């Protein structure tokens, strides 16, 4: 971003979000019991609906919450954790994912729609639960509708990051793409959790990334934005907590 002329405070905000995420992974609270996980799930779903009530609204679209001077993309803030929580709760995975997709449709937000859709596809691949597979089909169709009605002009250094990097330098674009691919692979194969959670989180990551390539949505990790860094950090903290719990039980 700096090489392309991004404001210096963009880098500082991303670095600050990365520090907060790393501290949360290492030392933050994480829901361990079933009741705590379900309570957290309800809280995160409520956050998804907050923009519809509080705004801000841009051309009738509301997918952010304002915290001081910052506008955080709610889907990227809570979507990765919801993917994990849904995959951990087979009794309520379908209503969790459908509620999240409904919120995304109301905003509308195709990035969150794709993230929850591919999280469902990942969880289905691990569990073979036909109901979760059906959520993936419904989510994909709904997300295509969100792409049509929810597009906004691109924000430099937030959206179209890979495309803009390609115009600057093919090698820079390749390096950014490989960093995304490596992050995806680490979640998919090296994450400290059982297969359903790893596949669900990897699916959410893939969904966000595909939405950014297909339309004007934030490019996670390699673009400016605290929400995806914090959201992925929170999700990885959930995986880390489960890994520690499983280790202590052995």
Span 13-27, pLDDT tens digits = 889 999 999 988 888
| Residue at 154 is within a domain | yes
What H or E segment, with its residue span, contains residue 236? Answer: helix 226-249
| Residue at 184 is within a domain | yes
| Residue at 2 is within a domain | no
Q: Which domain holds residue 241?
A: 8-249
| Residue at 1 is within a domain | no
Tokens read off for 112: 């969150």
pLDDT (0 to 100) of residue 250 = 44
| Residue at 3 is within a domain | no
Taking the C-alpha atoms of residue 87 and residue 72, their distance in angstroms, rounded to an integer, is 25
| Residue at 144 is within a domain | yes
pLDDT (0 to 100) of residue 247 = 45
Taking the C-alpha atoms of residue 115 and residue 142, their distance in angstroms, rounded to an integer, is 12
| Residue at 145 is within a domain | yes
Tokens read off for 90: 């087979």
DSSP reduced 3-state for 192:
coil
Angle at 154 between CA 151 and CA 160, to 5 degrees: 110
Span 25-34, pLDDT tens digits = 888 677 778 8
Phi, psi of 40 (to 5 degrees): -65, -40
**Phi-psi region for residue 113, left (φ > 0), alpha (ψ -120 to 50) or beta?**
alpha
| Residue at 187 is within a domain | yes
Q: Which residues contact 62 (CB under 8 A, 6 or more apart)?
A: 51, 52, 55, 56, 107
Considering its fold, how many domains does the chain have in total?
A: 1
- How is 195-214 classified by DSSP, letter by letter? HHHHHHHHHHHHHHHHHHHH
Contact 116, 82 (CB under 8 A): yes
pLDDT in 10s for each residue of the chain, 250 residues: 556 666 777 788 889 999 999 988 888 677 778 888 899 999 999 999 999 998 788 888 889 998 877 889 999 999 999 999 999 999 999 999 999 999 999 999 999 999 999 999 999 999 999 999 999 999 999 999 999 987 878 787 788 888 888 888 889 889 999 999 999 999 888 766 788 899 999 999 999 999 999 999 999 988 888 999 999 999 998 887 765 554 444 4
**Phi-psi region for residue 160, left (φ > 0), alpha (ψ -120 to 50) or beta?**
left
Angle at 140 between CA 135 and CA 142, to 5 degrees: 95
């Amino acid at each position: 971003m700096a090489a392309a002329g991004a404001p210096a405070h963009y880098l500082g905000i991303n670095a600050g979000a990365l520090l907060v995420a790393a501290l949360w992974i290492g030392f933050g609270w994480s829901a361990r019991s079933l009741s705590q996980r379900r309570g957290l799930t309800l809280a995160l779903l409520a956050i998804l609906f907050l923009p519809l009530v509080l705004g801000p609204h841009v051309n009738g679209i509301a997918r952010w919450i304002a915290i001081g001077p910052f506008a955080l993309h709610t889907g990227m803030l809570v979507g990765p954790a919801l993917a994990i929580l849904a995959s951990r709760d087979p009794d309520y995975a379908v209503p969790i994912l459908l509620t999240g997709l409904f919120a995304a449709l109301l905003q509308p937000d195709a990035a969150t729609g794709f993230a929850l859709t591919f999280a469902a596809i990942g969880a289905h691949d691990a569990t073979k639960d036909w109901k979760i597979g059906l959520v993936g089909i419904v989510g994909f169709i709904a997300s295509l509708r969100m792409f049509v009605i929810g597009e906004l002009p691109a924000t430099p250094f937030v959206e179209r990051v890979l495309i803009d990097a390609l115009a600057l330098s093919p090698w820079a674009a390749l390096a950014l793409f490989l960093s995304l691919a490596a992050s995806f692979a680490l979640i998919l194969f090296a994450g400290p959790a059982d297969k359903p959670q790893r596949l669900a989180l990897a699916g959410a990551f893939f969904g966000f990334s595909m939405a950014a390539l297909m339309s004007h949505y934030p490019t996670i990790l390699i673009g400016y934005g605290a929400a995806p860094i914090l959201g992925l950090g929170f999700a990885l903290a959930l995986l880390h907590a489960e890994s520690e719990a499983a280790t202590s039980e052995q």
